[in-house]
Amino acid sequence: MGTDSPFLLAAVSLLSALQMGYLARRVGLSRMAYKVLPPSVTGPPEFERTFRAHQNCVECYPVFLVTLWTCGMFFSEATAATGGLLYIIARQIYFNGYVKSTKKRLPGFYLTVAVFVTLSLLGFIGILHGIQHKYSHVHL
Amino acid sequence: MGTDSPFLLAAVSLLSALQMGYLARRVGLSRMAYKVLPPSVTGPPEFERTFRAHQNCVECYPVFLVTLWTCGMFFSEATAATGGLLYIIARQIYFNGYVKSTKKRLPGFYLTVAVFVTLSLLGFIGILHGIQHKYSHVHL
Amino acid sequence: MGTDSPFLLAAVSLLSALQMGYLARRVGLSRMAYKVLPPSVTGPPEFERTFRAHQNCVECYPVFLVTLWTCGMFFSEATAATGGLLYIIARQIYFNGYVKSTKKRLPGFYLTVAVFVTLSLLGFIGILHGIQHKYSHVHL
């Protein structure tokens, strides 16, 4: 890779992958604490909230990667990487809140949505700008 | 990014990410309609079908991204992007069908499999062609 | 794509996507064998173990793709591709073991973790080295 490689996007992606591993570990620890043996996924409310919090992060993760890289490659790498760090923080707030109570998942959830909307919009702007540039370049 | 950047693949990826967000929202609305409070994932049959339809899309999504980009980078971007749009339509047919009845998920499911098989095969052809080209290039 | 394209990473990614399709098919066959009709995900213990084994692979898959490509693009493509093949083998051992008994999922699980730790560490080393190179290049 050259010196213009997307180091920041790669670093944030790897950091978010580590977070996914950490959250999976938290589910494993919750299994032990509440004696919920695999393959069961039902048990005391706190275990079920921990399990669902992780599942929600699993659902969000590929969507996050797509918006992070689209924004980073077609709009601005630094902006995308900042959004990516915010996403990681948002997911941690969401997870820790959800473990405590169903209601406490909401602040982290809204912050997650805000990051998604921002990264997607900037990504779309970057793509449209790139396509416009490509065709004006071809025609002139 | 230069004018030869994969704009189409990025645009289709972002569109599919938006669809994932929309399908997650549909599960949330179904939760409200049938009063299934998180973290519970069981309830009336229509809620459970909606929930499983979304889960199936979550399972398919990273596989889709891999086949889309492999086909697009190593075979043809326009072909892959067309396949990607078909995938998005297939998932929508699948989801809407599954919400109605378990049987009605099948047409969208078969179309999804057809897109996966096509993108994977073309991706493999592209990779093999590229490797062949690389080594013939090195040896001559 | 030029002759320096990441053919090995693309080939391993596509192979792992095929494995995900195969594992999903195994869940479908288990549904038929134990007469567990969708959208239900509960039934005899063997079905539930098969279902959870697949779910665990779904959870791991995006994390795998991030570590594979980060290691491959910023450290070494051949090393990452080798790690990727090991991951595919690890997941197969995990899945086949888990179908038999909850305890037999452990060897494949530990091998999966070992691959994740290795790919992540090498990826981080590669990124740090790249950033260092970039800035020493800029300053001199």
DSSP string, B31-50: HHHTT--TT----SHHHHHH
Percent of chain A exceeding pLDDT 90 equals 91
A136-B11-B124 Cα angle (round to 5): 110
Q: What is the pTM of this model?
A: 0.96
Dihedral (C-alpha) A56, A57, A63, A68: value to the nearest 10 degrees? 150
Contacts of A89 (CB under 8 A, 6+ apart): A111
Nearest-Å Rg of the Cα atoms of chain A is 18
**pLDDT tens readout for residues B19-29:** 999 999 999 99
Token pair of A32, please?
């032990």
pLDDT higher than 80, residue A3: no
- Separation of alpha carbons A85 and A79, rounded Å: 10
- Separation of alpha carbons A26 and A23, rounded Å: 5
* Interface mutation target, options A63, A64, A70, A75, chain B, most CBs of B under 10 Å: A63
| pLDDT < 50: residue spans in chain B | none
The residue of chain A with its CA nearest to that of C68 is: A14
Q: What is the total residue count of chain A?
A: 140
| Of A51, A70, A116, Cβ closest to residue B21 | A116
| pLDDT < 70: residue spans in chain C | 1-3, 137-140
pLDDT band at A138 (very low <50, low <70, confident <90, very high): low
| Of C52, C102, C123, Cβ closest to residue A14 | C123
**pLDDT tens readout for residues C81-106:** 999 999 999 999 999 999 999 999 99
Q: What pLDDT was estimated at residue A139? A: 54
Q: What pLDDT was estimated at residue B135? A: 82
The ipTM, to two decimals, is: 0.94
Does an H or E element contain B117, and which? helix B106-139
Q: How far is C14 from chain B (nearest CA, A)?
A: 7
**pLDDT tens readout for residues A80-104:** 999 999 999 999 999 999 999 999 9
